A = this chain, B = another copy of it.
């Protein structure tokens, strides 16, 4: 996550027009949201600023709210439509939705159409909290909602999307509003010490594919120098950590344990998942730590 270009302090001090220009695109094509938030300045935290903007959306007249929702791009569109905002493009790209196969594109198109037919607006979701598999699951679940529940869900997702945009744009107290983190720790129970030099990889396990997300070596403290994922939401999905422990214990012959795979699901994108490995040459324990 690159350093934000703006500070909360400067936003609090700007002329209203500059404030709206700076934040206008946080909410898709809806400069009126920033306009509504301008008089409430100064904000003590980025979170408070975000809350004020969300309140503007939630209390807008129905027509305006509807038009605002309708103005979002459709998920999975492979055409670079000129009227997309830059932020929206980057978010969809991070999931690889612009590289869908023909079949997958067809599936997303069908879903999008079914959704638009039922609700009259595009399907809106904070894609940075999802893997491709959990996105499809969400699509199916939300298609079953009634209009009121789905409107509520849509506003929640808009809150999640714009919270991340605002965090990326503005520095100041209350930023980041909690983000997810995935970390590990390897302890060698033969020596009672952290295990250094263990190669660790993290893969996302999709229904049909497996993608490498991170790789690292454990350091002298048995941890990776940086968390395996940090500073952004964890994508809901299934993951596999692998620890290559065979060389660590060395010795002649084939070790009983060489690659230790640990497969687990992430369900809370903003939580801290700590997944340690307590190992010997013949056993291991893993758990969700804290």
A positions within 8 Å CB-CB of B: 185, 187, 189-194, 221-222, 236, 238, 240, 253-261, 263-265, 267, 278, 280-290
Contact status of A191 and B284, CB under 8 A, knowing A263-B259, A265-B254, A265-B255: no
B residues less than 8 Å from A193 (CB atoms): 290
Copy tally for this chain in the complex stands at 4
User: Which of B253, B258, B278 contacts A287 (CB under 8 A)?
Assistant: B278
Flag if A189 contacts B287 (CB, 8 Å).
Answer: yes
Flag if B256 contacts A192 (CB, 8 Å).
Answer: yes
Nearest chain-B residue to A190 (Cβ)?
B190
A226 to chain B, nearest CB (A): 18
Flag if A191 contacts B282 (CB, 8 Å).
Answer: yes
Q: List 22 A-B contacts (CB under 8 A).
A: A185-B290, A187-B290, A189-B189, A189-B280, A189-B282, A189-B283, A192-B287, A192-B288, A193-B290, A222-B290, A238-B258, A240-B261, A254-B267, A256-B265, A257-B264, A257-B265, A261-B261, A278-B287, A280-B280, A282-B287, A283-B286, A284-B287
Nearest chain-B residue to A191 (Cβ)?
B282
B residues less than 8 Å from A240 (CB atoms): 261
B residues less than 8 Å from A284 (CB atoms): 285-287
CA distance A191 to B254 in the complex (A): 14
CA distance A149 to B265 in the complex (A): 50
A180 to chain B, nearest CB (A): 14
A244 to chain B, nearest CB (A): 11
A136 to chain B, nearest CB (A): 14
A243 to chain B, nearest CB (A): 11
Flag if A190 contacts B285 (CB, 8 Å).
Answer: no
A187-B290, A190-B281, A285-B285 given; name 17 further pairs at CB < 8 Å: A187-B287, A189-B283, A192-B281, A192-B282, A254-B265, A254-B267, A256-B265, A257-B263, A257-B265, A259-B263, A261-B261, A278-B285, A280-B280, A280-B287, A282-B288, A283-B285, A284-B285
